[in-house]
Amino acid sequence: MSKIIKKQLIGTTSWLVPGTYYENARLVAQFVDFVELLVYTWDSDTKNLLELELPKLNHLTEVYGLKYTVHLPTDNFENVKKVVDFLEGKLEIINYVVHPYVSNEFEEFLRTFEKVSVENLKERVYYSDRMVIDIGHHLTGEKVELNKVKKITEIHLMGVKDGKDHLSIDEKTLSTLHDILGDELFDIELLCFEIFSMKDFIESLVTWQRWKERLCKLVGDANG
């Protein structure tokens, strides 16, 4: 019971409506603990936008206590390093999410930078000391072998139906995730609703809260 009611940090993405990082973060700053900044590449437009919006993003931290995670570039490892070099120390970032790269430099990066976690992909699972488990990737692609996972730092949560992911969360997917992780689900510090629609995010948050409350009640009833 204590595990199920443990405080988790709830977050969502920086692309719920068409707009900038700040415009999306501002929409949900009162409802979530963190926003996942989606930085899929690193070019002059992205850099200039972040430079412009860093003070505003920090203002949301000052006013609402909002924290950030960063989804690092997926195009090449050089851009991964550039984003970390640019952002680290400038925002309250609690996790960097990275896709696996095949290089000795990537291995060294994981050994020396403790705030980065490797995400499982549909086509490949790379086992690292710190991992992000994407339930959509797991259900529609290669399965994560939990006995090989040392620490799950973050869950990417979404609805999955007919082979499609990043949908509004449904109770079937939540029950499947609980079957996989058990009550460890509620011990994982970061839970990100990796969804790209404001409507779907609101629906998903309500579904999550109702499902969790019902599960708490069932546990309470079972314990008498």
What torsion do the CA atoms of 14, 18, 20, 22 make, to the nearest 10 degrees? -60
In a domain, 79, yes or no: yes
Enclosing domain of residue 104: 9-222
Coil, strand or helix at 39: coil
Q: Are 93 and 70 in contact (CB under 8 A)?
A: yes
Q: Which carries the bigger pLDDT value, residue 158 or residue 3?
A: 158
**pLDDT confidence band for 2 (50 / 70 / 90):** very low
How does pLDDT run across 174-183, given as a tens digit for each residue? 999 999 999 9
**pLDDT confidence band for 7 (50 / 70 / 90):** confident
Helix axis angle for 21-28 and 44-64, nearest 10°, is: 20
In a domain, 155, yes or no: yes
For residues 12 and 26, give the distance between their C-alpha atoms in angstroms, rounded to a whole number.
12
CA dihedral (167, 153, 108, 139) positive or negative: negative
Q: Are 160 and 195 in contact (CB under 8 A)?
A: no
How does pLDDT run across 21-63, given as a tens digit for each residue? 999 999 999 999 999 999 999 999 999 999 999 999 999 999 9
In a domain, 36, yes or no: yes
pLDDT at 15 > cutoff 50:
yes
**pLDDT confidence band for 218 (50 / 70 / 90):** confident
Q: Which carries the bigger pLDDT value, residue 217 or residue 110?
A: 110
In a domain, 1, yes or no: no
In a domain, 114, yes or no: yes
Q: What CATH number does the domain containing 171 carry?
A: 3.20.20.150
pLDDT score, position 224: 46
pLDDT at 6 > cutoff 80:
no
- The total domain count for the chain is 1
